[in-house]
Structures are given as C-alpha cells and as structure tokens.
Structure 1
Amino acid sequence: MTKGYEEFEFDLPSALLINLVKLFDEMDSSALSIWNVASIPEEQGVYQLLHKDSLVYIGKTDAEAGLKKRLDRHAWTIQHRHNLDPMDVTFKAVRVFVFTAIDLETQLIKHYGAENIVSWNNSGFGSNDPGRERDTTTLKAEGFDELFPVDIDREIELNLSAPTSAADALKALKEALPYTFRFETAGKRSRKPHLDLTDTPIDRLPKAKTTRLIIETIVSQLPAGWQATALPSRVILYKEKRDYIHGTIIARSL
C-alpha cells in the first residue's frame, strides 16, 4: 500500500440493518386498523406485523405501493377470519430514505428468522388472488389461510336492495368483502359477468347481511347449475358441480 493512501469501503447494508433492527426493537407498535394506517405516509420503507406481540410478518414497499397502501391492504385482509381477532394484530413501519438498491426485507427476515420463524412470510399472507387454476391447490398445513380461513357468517355493511340483477348484487358484495370473491364471467378473458348473472333478476334479499345468506339467496334465484363454494382464502361462484379438497359448498341452484 502506498504511503499516505488507504482504501475504505463502507458496508451500507450492514450498517442500515443494525440501525433498523435497533429502531424496530425500540418502537411501540400500533393496532393494524384502517384508522391508524390513515396517518401513515405513502412512502418507501419496511414494516413489521405482530400477532399477540409476536413478530409474524416482515414486508417492504415497492414502486406500486408505499407504506400506507401496503398496511391498508393488510388491515383489510385480517378482517372476517376464523381464529383471528384483528385487535391482536399490530404494526411497526419505518420510512427508509436510502432504499432502492438494498433488499432490506430479506435481510430483516434472515435476522429475525435466526431467532424465531417469521410465520406469516411465505405462508400466503398478503398474496393476490391466485386465479381459477389454483382453486384446487393443496394448502400448506401451517399457511395463513389454513390457520385463519375466511368467515362467511360475519355481518357486513352492504348498501343493496331488491329488485336488482344478480350481476349487480354480486358486484356490490365483492366490493364490500375483505377477502376475494370471484364469480364466472362471460368468457375466459372477459371481465363482464356471465349472461346468467346479468339476465337474472333478484327480487328478494335476506334481512341479515352475511356473505352466506346473501349468496344462498342469490343462488336460489339463478338458473340451474350454479355452485357457490367457500375456500379458505376466498369465495367463488361458478356454473359447475364440483367438490374441492379445501372447499365447502355454500349453495347450488336447482
């Protein structure tokens, strides 16, 4: 080495990880509710979810969704689940200004995973609707949806009255639910509801507004051959007669 000259390489990822872990460990968490999340900025960063004070999920933002959008989506996902009280789920979120080139999510998972399993990561939690081809997929025994399946008997807020069409009633239900509700369309790549749904008038709806009762009432007025099925993570309605490994039939039209 030339006298009067040295080389120094600053390990930014390691330094950032050390400081982030320290900050997370010192932070108080907040209940994961849409009201608390409303004040979180839509910025880049990382976050933790805790269930009964145990760390269960580590996430990061991307170009499509910042901290607010990510947390808002998770706050919606934990609603209407068996075995899961939303009040037991809290969050910690940190905006990170130096972010794009560093995979902090992976580093944080490795750090905390060395002490305990971050159980909701890689469990299906936070995933988008996998689509029709995955409705028959076998679930992980300890996956999020297997442990906390959707509860279709919860009261929901739904501004819906008869008479209406089956398609409009189902669209309104889909928008009101905190989990995926998918129904058959006019074609494989079409977004328009199946003709049976657009052409069928619905002249009665249940007084009690639960997913089960609404779907039972609508299906009873559809032409023959329709089946509604509750899967652990979603509800589907198709013109079929089929049994699903992880599914429970809600109603069939005769």
Structure 2
Amino acid sequence: MAQGYVEFEFDLPAALLDSLVAEFAKMSSASLTHDHTGQVPDEQGVYQLLVGGQVVYVGKTDADSGLRGRLSKHAWTIQHRQNLRPEDVQFKCARVFVFTAMDLEKLLIRHYAQTADVWWNFSGFGSNDPGRNRDTTELKATGFDAVYPIDLDHPVDIQSEGGVSAAQVLDALRRELPFTLRAESDGSRGRRPHADLVTSIIPPFQTKPATTRQVLESVLGALPAGWQATALPGRIILYREDRDYTAGTVIGRS
C-alpha cells in the first residue's frame, strides 16, 4: 500500500443506529394520547411504542406522513380494546433530519428484537381493512387483535332521538370507532349503502350513552330479516347472511 494512503469505509447505517438507540435509551417516554402526540412536530423520523417499558413496535415516517400524524393514528387505533388501556402505551420518537437509503425501521427492529419482543410489528397492528375476501381468514393466536380484541361494550358518543336511517346511524358510528365497520352496499361502483339500510328507521336509543353493541342491536332490530352483525379480528361487518365465522363472534341477527 502506498505511503501516506489508507482506505477507510465509514459504516453509516451502524453509526446512525447506535446513535438512535443511545438517544432512545436516555429519553423519557410519553403516554400515547392525543394530548401528547399533538405536541410532536409533523416531521420525518423514527419512533417506538412501549407497553410496561417493553418496546413492542418500531416505525418510521417520512415528511409526507410525519411523526405527529403517525403517532396520532396509533393513539386512535389502541382505543376501544379489551385488555389494553390507552394510558398504558407509551411512545418515544426522534426527528431525523437526514434519511439515507438505508431501512432505519428494519435496522431498529433487528436491534430491539435481540433483547425485546417487538411483536406488534408482526401482529397486524395498524393494518387496514383486508376486505371481504379475507373475512374467513383464521385469527393468529398471537396477533394484536387476538390479544386485544375490540371492545363492543365501550360507550360511543352518538346522539339519536330516532327518525334517522340505519345508514345514517352506521355513518355516525364509523366516525366514533377506531376500527373498521363495514356494511353491505348496493353493489354499485360508488358503494352506496344497501337499500335496506337507507329505508330502515332507527328508534331512539334506550341507553345513553349507548355502547357499540347496543347501537348495532338497534340497527338489527330495525332491519328486515336476514341481516347479521359479526365481530371479526379488529373489525365489525354487517351483511345479509346467516353464517358462523371461525375467527369471529356473531353480535346479532335481524
């Protein structure tokens, strides 16, 4: 090798990973509530979710979907769940001013998986509605929805004195629920509500505030015979059918 010459390769991914891990280690966490997530800048960065001090999820965002938006979405997702109090979930996040082509999320998952079980990353947490074709899929026993089922008996802020359609009630319920509520449409490309949902009028709720279960029971009570509401992993479906799902629980039938 020539005198006065050396070949040096800087391991940027490893250096950035070490710096981020050290920064997270000395940070204090905050509860994953909208009061706290609303104070986070909506910038690109990385974050982790913790339960009982244990890292359960690691993620990253870019400038188009910043930290505030992503954490706020997660704060909404953990609502209305059995076995999980929202105040028990904590977060730490860091804005990263320079993103390289490296996959920071994968590097962080790999690091924390050595000493912690970041199982929310592999459990379906935060997934979108998989659609009708996946409604019969078996429930993964260790998945997020299996460990923290949706809570049908959680109160929802829906005011109804009666005289409104089932479709309107379901729209109001969707806005309240932090998980998917899917109902049969009329089959059009625009996915308009089924005619039964438009013409069926819901009476006043007997209990105020009503729970998700009570709202659905009121809707079923007003629909023609043949409708069924089912609680599936992480979502509720309402269709004209009479069937059992291995990974679901029938809420009621009309």
Report what 1:114 is aligned to. 114
The answer as to whether partners of 1:205 and 1:218 remain within 8 angstroms in 2 is no
Residues 201 and 12 (structure 1), Cα distance of their counterparts in 2 relative to 1, 3 Å cut: same
Q: Distance in 2 between matches of 1:54 and 1:199?
A: 50
Q: Which runs of 5+ in 1 are unaligned?
A: none
Q: Relative to structure 1, is the Cα distance of residues 15 and 244 closer, same or farther in structure 2, using a 3 angstrom cutoff?
A: same
C-alpha deviation, 1:85, in angstroms = 1.2
| 2:242 pairs with 1:241 | yes
Deviations 1:198-250 (CA, angstroms, capped at 9, x unpaired): 12222333323100001101111011111001123111111111111121111
Q: Distance in 2 between matches of 1:64 and 1:247?
A: 36
After TM superposition, the structure 1 = structure 2 runs for residues 86-165 of structure 1, keeping only pairs within 5 Å, are: 86-165=86-165
1:160 Cα offset (Å) = 3.6
1:214 paired residue number: 215
Q: How many corresponding residue pairs?
A: 253
Residue in 2 aligned with 1:65?
A: 65
Q: What do the CA deviations read for 1:168-218 (whole angstroms, capped 9, x no partner)? A: 110010111111111111116433111111122223333231000011011
Quote the sequence identity (%): 56
Matched, 1:37 2:58: no
**How far 1:134 moved relative to its partner?**
1.2
Q: Give the TM-score, by structure 2 length.
A: 0.95
Residue 204 of structure 1: aligned partner: 204
**Pairwise CA distance, 1:30:** 0.2
Query: TM-score, structure 1 length as denominator?
Result: 0.95
Call closer, same or farther: CA 1:58–1:246 in 2, change over 3 Å: same
* Alpha-carbon contact 1:206-1:214 (below 8 Å) kept: no
Aligned CA-pair RMSD:
1.5
Q: Is the 8 A contact 1:226 1:240 kept in 2?
A: yes
Give, in angstroms, the shift of residue 100 of structure 1: 4.7
For the 8 Å contact 2:56–2:118, the answer to whether it is kept is yes
Q: Deviation per CA, 1:88-120, whole angstroms, max 9, x where unpaired?
A: 110001111111522111001111111122121
Look up the SS of the partner of 1:171 in the other structure.
helix
Does residue 48 in structure 1 map to residue 38 in structure 2?
no
What is the rounded CA distance, in whole Å, between the counterparts of 2:183 and 2:251 in structure 1?
Answer: 14
Report the counterpart of residue 82 of structure 1 in structure 2: 82
Contact 1:230 1:250 in 2 (8 A): yes
Change (3 A) 1:112 1:186: same
**CA spacing shift, 1:219–1:64, aligned 2, 3 Å:** farther
